[in-house]
Amino acid sequence: MGSQWGRDGFYRKARTEGYRSRAAYKLLDIQKRFEVIRADDNVIDLGCAPGSWLQVLRELTDGQVIGIDLNPVPSVEGAVTLVGDFTTEVMHDKIRSMVDVVNVIVCDAAPKFSGTKSYDQARAIGLSEEACDFAITFLKPGGNFVLKSFQGDMFDVILDKMRKNFHGVKVYRSKAARKGSTEVYIIGKKFMGPQSSDDTDAGEKNLKVKVLGKKVEKDEDAESGSRIIRRIVDSHEK
């Protein structure tokens, strides 16, 4: 590791205490502040590599702990890891066959960044929306959700979606975050449960989002946040 890592206190602490990455202290910090995980909760970790959050989850709950990642993750004792895309029906079917009730979902995933700010932010928010959709699909009413996101253009898209689906929503910057990072965690507590399409449509009409530094007032004819994100990503990748 380079000198930047060598000077990082959380990195050194993780090596000493046996965690696979410094990210473990972000979840520990969130748990201490918000108490999102109880001792008998079943928890799913989206984008679980390298496994440090699985290690923490295994310490916090005696319930089932399931991690999902696109790449194989070295096993964590007491946790189950699945390789695949958490947005697919194939993965959804696997989850349904493994666990009856999901109390908590956590997601510390982030896309690989290209260095192009608008494109990277669109991909990050797009991933956050996919994780939020997964949580809406699997969480039991009253469940909790911890989601990594990045402040910037379109951040309001995911924040609004969280507020429409959870009774309590907080934005929190962990003490373990690196200086200068725009990384934050959105903490959703007490999932409202499935909502009618009428409720969703009404929320879309009132949504305000920022796109590339400009505010877009939502109305019946305006694009949804997810469509804006897809348009930005598609135009960059052509």
Instruction: Check residues 216 and 73 and name the one with the higher pLDDT.
Output: 73
CATH architecture of the domain formed by 3-237: 3-Layer(aba) Sandwich (3.40)
Question: What does the alpha-carbon distance between residue 51 and residue 49 come to, in Å, rounded to a whole number?
Answer: 5
Q: Return the number of other C-beta atoms located less than 10 Å from residue 33's C-beta.
A: 14
Domain borders along the chain are: 3-237
**SS3 category, 53:** helix
Give the tens place of pLDDT for each residue, 53-92. 999 999 999 999 999 999 999 999 999 999 999 999 999 9
pLDDT band at residue 194 under the 50/70/90 scheme: confident
pLDDT at 196: 57
Q: Which of 148, 161, 164, 189 is the catalytic position?
A: 148
Give the tens place of pLDDT for each residue, 133-185. 999 999 999 999 999 999 988 899 999 999 999 999 999 998 877 777 889 99
pLDDT at 189: 98
| Least confident interval from 9-18, 86-95, 196-205 | 196-205
CA distance readout (Å), 1 to 4, 20, 49, 110, 112: 8, 14, 19, 21, 20
pLDDT at 211: 35
Task: Decide if pLDDT at 238 tops 90.
Answer: no
pLDDT band at residue 27 under the 50/70/90 scheme: very high
pLDDT at 198: 52
Catalytic residue status for 148? yes
pLDDT at 105: 98
Tokens representing 99 are 């666990």
Please report, to the nearest 10 degrees, the dihedral formed by the alpha carbons of residues 220, 159, 82, 177 taken in order: 150
Task: Decide if pLDDT at 26 tops 50.
Answer: yes
pLDDT at 210: 36
